[in-house]
Every structure is written in C-alpha cells, then in structure tokens.
Structure 1
Amino acid sequence: MANAPECPVCGERGVPILYGLPTRVAREAAAAGKVRLFGCVVPTEPDQWTCERSHTWRADDDQVLIAVIDAALKRD
C-alpha cells in the first residue's frame, strides 16, 4: 500500500476504513491489516483513514483511497 497517506498526527502509514457489513473478503483483508472495519453506522462526515495508533482522518484524494481499498480487496 505504497500510495496510502501518512497519518497527519504520528506519521504512521494510513490504513483505509471500511464501513458497512463486511464481506468475507473484507474480513480477511482486515485480519491481514490491509483495511480497518468501523461498523455499519456511517457518520455524517466519516473518516477515511486510520493508523496503528488509532488516529483517524479524511484525505483529499478519493482516487488514492479507492485504489488502496481495491488492492486490499484484490479487485481490478
């Protein structure tokens, strides 16, 4: 996940946040640390990224977010 942004607080690599009921593939990606599952209730302005220290944030580039999620879920 080379394109993942760094946490603006601690500098750790960002991990994309997934909301909603996870599929088997999403659960496997979460177990591997490629995504983080945040449950079914989506906030009005949801964060998109988290880090190992559990900081959360939004980034400006949705294309990067989509690309990292697609790679984590092995979608083309």
Structure 2
Amino acid sequence: MTEQNTDRPLCPKCGAAMTPIMYGYPSSISFDRAERGEIVLGGCVITPDSPDWACRTCRTDSDDDIDIPSFMPE
C-alpha cells in the first residue's frame, strides 16, 4: 500500500497530490527542481490572491479556477 504524503493537499478536481508554487526570480536550482516536478514556478509577480499550490496532473491551481501557466513543465 502506498503511503499518502499528508504535507501536500489533494487537488479538488482530480485528487492528485498538489505541488507547491515558488514565486520570485528562479535560480538554476529552482529550474532543476521544477523540471523534476518538485515545485511549479509561479513567476516574479506575487499578489494577495496568488495560489500556493498547483496540480501538475490536471493543470489547475489551488484557487481551482485559474489554469497553471504554460511554462510549467509537462
């Protein structure tokens, strides 16, 4: 049986574990982490409504009504 990671919320649309969104100017380490699927790069502009989590499976964010930017690696 697979152990569920309780630190990551589940996507309200598809039920997959969500991935944290990292904001700010990314370093080479951040790009590597994004390519491995550990984080999603959210860009340099942060607003009060910026989501914290993204679903890499169905490409929605934790606000559930905004699609993840197209620069997110598949």
TM-score by length of 2: 0.69
1:45 aligns with 2:60: no
RMSD across aligned positions (CA): 1.7
**1:34-73 equivalence runs, <5 A:** 34-52=38-56, 53-57=58-62
1:27 aligns with 2:15: no
Aligned residues: 58
SS in 1 for 2:33: helix
Structure 2: distance between partners of 1:51 and 1:13: 7
Q: Which has the higher contact order (CA 8 A, sep 6+)?
A: 1
Report deviation, 1:34.
0.5
Q: Which has the higher helix share?
A: 1
Aligned sequence identity (%): 31
1:15 aligns with 2:13: no
Point out the structure with max Rg over C-alpha.
2
